[in-house]
C-alpha cells in the first residue's frame, strides 16, 4: 500500500476498509468453525478467508509501522514501533500458525485501537488522553460486536473477550508510560542555531560551520557561547490539516549527578496542514556551559523529540558562520 500523509482521507478510507473487511472475514471464519457441518461451502473456503484476514491485517500493520515510526522520538516510543514491526513480520511469515479465532480477534482489536488512536484526533482536530481511551474502547467495542456475531452463549463471549481486554489494558499502560508515539503529530526537523528569523515565507538560520568530518551537520550542536549570545532551538512539526496544538520547548541542563533539570518552559501554537511541518522556535540567553537538551512536547506532555547540544566557552576566533534558509 502506498501511503502519502496520515491525514489524507483517501488513505484513511482504505485503512478503514481494510479494518472492516478483516472483521467481516473473521466473523465468517468463526461461523464456519462453529457450523462446519451445516456450512460446507464456508468450510471449503476457510483457508481462503484466513488468507484474506492476514492480507488485510498485514496492510494495516505495515501502515501503522510507517505512521508511528514518523512520530516516534528516540527512546521508549521506539519500543512500540518495534512491537508493530514484530506483529507485522509474524503476520507475514507465520500466518499459518495464527488461525485460532481468539488470536485473530485479539489482533483485530489491537489494529482497531491503533487506527482510532490517530484517526479520532484527525477528525476532531485535537489530542488528549480522553481520546486515546476512547480509541481503545472503540477497538474493544468492534471486537465485542465481532465476537458477539459468532458466539451465541454469553459465557463463551466473555471468555473470548479476555485477551482483547488484556490488550486494551496493555495499551493504556503503554500510553501513560510514554511508549506510544504521539500520532498524528511528528517532529520533522529540529536544530540549535545562533540566530533564527523569518524572511518572507522562509526562516533564516545561522550557525557556526562544523568541522569537515561532520559534513552532514546543519546546526550547531557544540555551541560556542559568548556573553550576550542567545541559543535558538528551531523545530518543524507536522500536524494534520486544520489541527491546532500548543507545543512546549523544555530547556534542560544536565547537572553533576546526571539528572536533567528543566530551566525554562516556552510554548507556542502550531497550525497543521503544511507538508514540511509548522515552523517555530524558542531561544534562551545567559546559558551556562555543559550538556543541554530541548525536549519538544505537546500540551499534555507527550514527547515529540529531543534536541541535545553542548555549550562550551567560545574561542577567541569564533570561526566561519553559515547562513541557510529553511523552506
Q: What is the pLDDT of residues 112-124, one digit of tens each?
A: 999 999 999 999 9
Q: How far is CA 15 from CA 6, 69, 97, 118, 205, in A?
A: 11, 17, 24, 12, 39
pLDDT at 97 over 90: no
Q: How confident is the model over 147-156, as a mean pLDDT?
A: 82
Residue 149's pLDDT is what? Answer: 87
The alpha-carbon radius of gyration of the chain (Å, integer) is 24
- Closest among 217, 182, 226 to 70, alpha carbons compared: 182
CATH number of 186-326: 2.60.40.10
pLDDT in tens, 59-93: 999 999 999 999 997 778 899 999 999 999 999 88
pLDDT tier at 169, thresholds 50, 70, 90 = very high
Residue 55's pLDDT is what? Answer: 95
Rounded Cα–Cα distance for residues 28 and 33 (Å):
9
Average the pLDDT over each of 11-20, 27-36, 220-229 and give the range with the smallest value: 27-36
Residue 261's pLDDT is what? Answer: 98
Are 312 and 288 a contacting pair, CB within 8 Å?
A: no
Rounded Cα–Cα distance for residues 5 and 3 (Å):
6
- Measured in degrees and rounded to the nearest 5, phi and psi for residue 35 equal -125, 40
pLDDT at 38 over 60: no
Are 272 and 240 a contacting pair, CB within 8 Å?
A: yes
pLDDT in tens, 242-289: 999 999 999 999 999 999 999 999 999 999 999 999 999 999 999 999
Residue 8's pLDDT is what? Answer: 93
pLDDT at 36 over 80: no
Q: Which residue intervals of the chain bear CATH 2.60.40.10?
A: 186-326
Q: pTM for this structure?
A: 0.91
Amino acid at each position: 500500500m502506498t501511503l502519502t500523509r496520515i491525514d489524507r482521507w483517501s488513505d484513511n478510507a482504505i485503512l478503514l476498509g481494510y479494518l472492516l473487511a478483516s472483521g467481516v472475514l473473521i466473523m465468517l471464519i468463526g461461523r464456519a468453525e462453529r457450523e462446519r457441518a451445516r456450512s460446507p461451502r464456508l468450510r471449503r473456503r476457510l483457508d481462503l478467508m484466513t488468507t484474506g484476514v492476514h492480507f488485510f491485517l498485514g496492510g494495516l500493520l505495515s501502515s501503522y509501522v510507517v505512521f508511528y515510526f514518523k512520530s516516534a522520538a528516540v527512546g521508549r516510543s521506539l519500543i512500540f514501533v518495534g512491537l508493530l514491526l514484530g506483529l507485522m513480520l509474524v503476520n507475514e511469515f507465520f500466518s499459518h500458525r495464527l488461525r485460532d479465532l481468539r488470536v485473530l480477534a485479539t489482533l483485530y482489536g489491537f489494529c482497531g485501537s491503533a487506527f482510532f488512536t490517530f484517526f479520532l484526533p484527525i477528525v476532531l482536530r485535537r489530542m488528549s488522553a480522553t481520546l486515546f481511551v476512547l480509541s481503545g474502547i472503540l477497538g474493544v467495542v468492534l471486537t465485542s460486536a465481532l465476537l458477539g456475531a459468532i458466539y451465541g452463549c454469553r459465557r463463551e463471549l466473555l471468555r473470548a473477550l479476555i485477551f482483547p481486554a488484556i490488550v486494551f489494558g496493555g495499551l493504556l499502560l503503554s500510553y501513560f508510560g510514554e511508549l506510544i508515539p504521539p500520532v498524528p503529530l511528528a517532529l520533522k526537523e529540529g536544530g540549535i542555531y545562533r540566530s533564527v528569523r523569518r524572511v518572507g515565507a522562509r526562516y533564516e538560520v545561522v550557525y557556526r560551520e562544523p568541522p569537515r568530518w561532520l559534513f552532514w551537520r546543519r546546526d550547531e550542536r557544540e555551541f560556542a557561547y559568548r556573553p550576550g549570545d542567545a541559543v535558538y532551538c528551531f523545530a518543524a512539526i507536522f500536524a494534520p490539516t486544520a489541527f491546532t496544538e500548543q507545543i512546549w520547548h523544555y530547556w534542560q541542563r544536565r547537572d553533576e549527578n546526571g539528572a536533567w533539570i528543566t530551566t525554562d518552559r516556552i510554548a507556542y501554537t502550531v497550525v497543521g496542514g503544511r507538508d514540511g511541518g509548522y515552523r517555530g522556535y524558542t531561544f534562551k540567553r545567559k546559558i551556562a556551559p555543559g550538556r543541554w537538551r530541548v525536549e519538544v512536547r505537546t500540551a499534555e506532555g507527550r514527547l515529540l523529540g529531543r534536541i541535545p547540544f553542548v555549550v562550551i566557552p567560545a574561542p577567541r576566533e569564533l570561526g566561519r558562520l553559515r547562513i541557510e534558509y529553511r523552506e
